[in-house]
Homo-oligomer: A and B are copies of this chain.
Amino acid sequence: MKVDEIKDAALKFFTIHGYEGASLSQIAEEVGMKKQSLYAHFKGKDDLFLQVLRDAKEAERASKLEYMSGFDEHHPERDLYGFLRLVIDLFQKNEQLKFWLRTSFFPPAHLADAIGQEVVDIETEIQGILERKFKDWIDTKAIYGESAKTPTLAFLGIVDSIMLSLVYDNDEQRLEEKLEACWTVFWRGISHP
C-alpha cells in the first residue's frame, strides 16, 4: 500500500526534523515520487502529519495496554520492570514512540491544542490503569504504600526519564546504567516503608 509507504517516510522525517523541518519533497523523494503526487493520498501536510500522529498514538496505546493486561496481583517487580523494558524495546524497534515523544512535548504551534488533547487522553488512560494495578499490589501487600497515586506518579516519572535517556543518551551502556539505577532506587522505595 502506497499510503503506508508515504506514512513511513513521513514518520522518519518528522521524527528527525520535526514538523517545520521536514519537507514534503524529502518525503516524496524517499518513496520515489514527486511531492505534488502526495496530494492524491493526503489533503496536505497537516493531514499527513495528523494521520502519522494518530497511528503512532494508537500503536503506543495498543502496546502498553496489551502489556499491562498481563499484569497479575503478585509480581509487581517483574511486571513493572518489564514495562520499562517494553518502553525501551518499543523505542528502539520503531520510530513511532520517538515521534510521539517529540510531538507531544514540542508540537507545531498551530496544532498544539489538538495534540495536547490527544496527549491528555492517552496519559489519563494509562495512568488510570496503572493506578488500579498499584492499588491491587498495595492491597495484597506486594508493595508498600499508603495511596496508589504516589507510586503511580513516581513510576511514570521513571518512564519519562528513561524515554529521555533514549533520546539523548545514544550510548547503550549509559542507558542500561541509568535504568538499573532508577529501578533499584524506585523498587527499594516502594517495596517497604
Q: Nearest B residue to A147 by beta-carbon distance? A: B181
> In the complex the two chains form, is A181's CB within 8 Å of B104's CB?
no
Q: Does A149 contact B (CB under 8 A)?
A: yes
Q: Main secondary structure on chain A at its contact with chain B?
A: helix
Interface membership of A19, Cβ < 8 A:
yes
Interface size class of A (residues with CB under 8 A): 35 or more
C-alpha spacing A16/B158, complex, angstroms:
26
Against B, the Cβ 8 Å flags (1 = close, 0 = not) of A135-165 are: 0000000000000011111101110111011
Binding site for B on A (CB under 8 A): 16-21, 102, 104-106, 108-109, 116, 119, 149-154, 156-158, 160-162, 164-165, 167-168, 177-178, 180-182, 184-190, 193
Given A18-B18, A18-B21, A150-B185, 12 more contacts at CB 8 Å?
A18-B20, A104-B168, A105-B168, A106-B167, A150-B181, A153-B181, A154-B184, A158-B161, A161-B164, A164-B164, A187-B189, A188-B193
